[in-house]
Copies of this chain bind each other. A is one copy, B any other.
């Protein structure tokens, strides 16, 4: 079968797999496994609020995205060409669609996971895993289908054209994916941390109520944030990486000697397509029946996927690519290309493992940070920052080695292939990434619904395994972003016709410094954005506690509602006495209260009318119900507002530099931003992860445990780490990739540069 058809059919296979996994999740009734109909109703209500909040955010975000796509699409059309603009719109649309699917299934799976945890950890694991797989396969399938269909569509539109021109227009696809990733990652990152910090600072510290308590107005926003930031954001991020590194490899390959050999030309898309059946086989290895076998199950899946990919691609590469080929004046071999791919694949795995080492409390680095909390918050912070910086050592060496090996075996094409190799296990990596937030949400729902210790222990075990694999996924995302950015940079040079980039050229040297500065400025802006958005949330939560009567006692049957019931004349004295024992008693949810009222009334021969009962309960509930929706709204508005400045920085920097100073200045800015950006991203993510787990290590009963001074110090570190690990760090991935793809797409525009200092 021809390569294009193979790619197309494998893409269809992925979409079918996604549908299959979605069916496996959705065929289970939402609350199957709940202990009682009341518990079921409670679960439905909470998960409904989360789902509704997530949709509300998405709809608002889509308005922004629509405006952005329209405006930026026109800019691309005018400054570059309309074919690129078309690719841009297609890429952006697919990214949006993939994010939507991922979030939709996650918000449907979380409650099913919680309910299933009532009966079996194995079933709960499987539901969360399957929902992750929906996202993983849907995204990869659509990415591959989008690329192959768009390639032929562009070929038809552009008529007789060189592969080079088609591939350059196709690069708009990567731009679309990455632009949406910017909005999703930065906006989502600000949303989730504003809600998290706001909920914690007022709820835990001021009102003294536990985490995930339903009385906290920001608690739903916090759970929405997990979906918004970790699922939609991560999905868009990795979709961007796939789209971009494929485009980079295609652009470079389009000037190779094999450019009229369709199979060889489309080899970069084939890599990702081949990953699809391999990922499908790997999912068969994801089974666990005990709390302790969840993490091994997830890791086993990833390892199987990596090994199979390494083996199958040897065969595919040697068959599809010519034995030797030329790019420019250099000659490379297909075996060399395979080595590049293998290097990327292995490096991604290693970077993931190093990330886990530095952020899990099973190893000494995090324990050292925890011990540093014994002398106070300041030493905790100092050790945490130092850990972050140090943790970049091995990943950077792996990346540098990959760059060197990739370049040596196949020039700039080799770097792009290494990036695709690293992304070869993307379907499984995404499955694992999306698994985490679903498990996290499941735990939150269990807590809010007051489902007791067994269920919570099980959801905690799922969450903990999810955190570990999320750490691996984060390292992976940074590593692939670095290689993707380098691949795009190479493609940019190819398209700009820059053959050598001399560091001794003053404009290159000066722009390297400006580039190195860029990630720091971006980090400063995003960190403060979280601070400002959190402040909005703090104000709203304080306002609700101050103005909503009885909010602190939401689930208490008030004496007033009892009076209403009596005035209705429908109470016997026995009923009245029984009800009195319920008055002022606190319940963990409104539903629990309702059940207590029913049981107090129901055992008499003269039950009150349904209307009266409803009135009582409503009175009790309406009086103290927090306005979750307003909090979601606040976080939505604040995150979209605060996103504009960092977004503008990323998009405008390469365009303005290119227009004023030309392509070589852009190249300097790109390399400079990668050099400091990759280290800063790794450091931010790992410092944040380490602080989080140092706190958890203490909460597990070490060094004085929860409530000790050491714990208080560790909580401060954790709060500092929140924006670093969930907003700034991940957004820096987008920064370096997006600046590079913008440069690649706008390369023809830079030819009209003013060359002010040229």
Contacts and interface: CB of A to CB of B under 8 A. Distances in A.
A392 B520 contact: yes
Nearest to A368: B528
A700 interface: no
Given A393-B521, A513-B396, A675-B515, A506 B372 contact: no
Interface residues of A, number: 75
Contact of A720 (B382, B504, B525): B382
A389 B407 CA distance: 33
A314 interface: no
A524 B720 CA distance: 18
Interface in A502-545: 502-504, 506-517, 520-521, 523-525, 527-528, 530-531, 535, 538
Contacts of A538: 375
A614 interface: no
A67 to B, nearest CB: 28
Oligomer copy total: 2
Most-contacted residue by chain B among A372, A399, A404, A499 (CB, 10 A): A404
Interface string A707-734: 0000000001101100100000000000
B531 A400 contact: no
Contacts of A676: 516, 675-676, 679
Contact of A514 (B396, B530, B672): B396
A385 interface: yes
- Chain A facing B: main interface SS: helix
Contact of A393 (B389, B396, B517): B517
Nearest to A388: B524
A383 interface: yes
Given A389-B521, A389-B524, A501-B502, A678 B382 contact: no
A483 to B, nearest CB: 11
B511 A386 contact: no
A55 B64 CA distance: 66
B531 A372 contact: yes
A538 to B, nearest CB: 7
Interface of A: 201, 205, 372, 375-379, 381-383, 385-390, 392-393, 396-397, 399-401, 403-404, 407-408, 412, 486, 493, 499-504, 506-517, 520-521, 523-525, 527-528, 530-531, 535, 538, 667, 671-672, 674-676, 678-679, 683, 716-717, 719-720, 723, 757
12 contacts: A201-B375, A201-B376, A378-B719, A386-B524, A386-B525, A387-B524, A390-B521, A390-B524, A393-B521, A404-B507, A412-B504, A716-B716
Given A375-B535, A381-B720, 9 more contacts: A378-B716, A389-B521, A389-B527, A397-B517, A400-B514, A407-B510, A501-B504, A516-B676, A675-B675
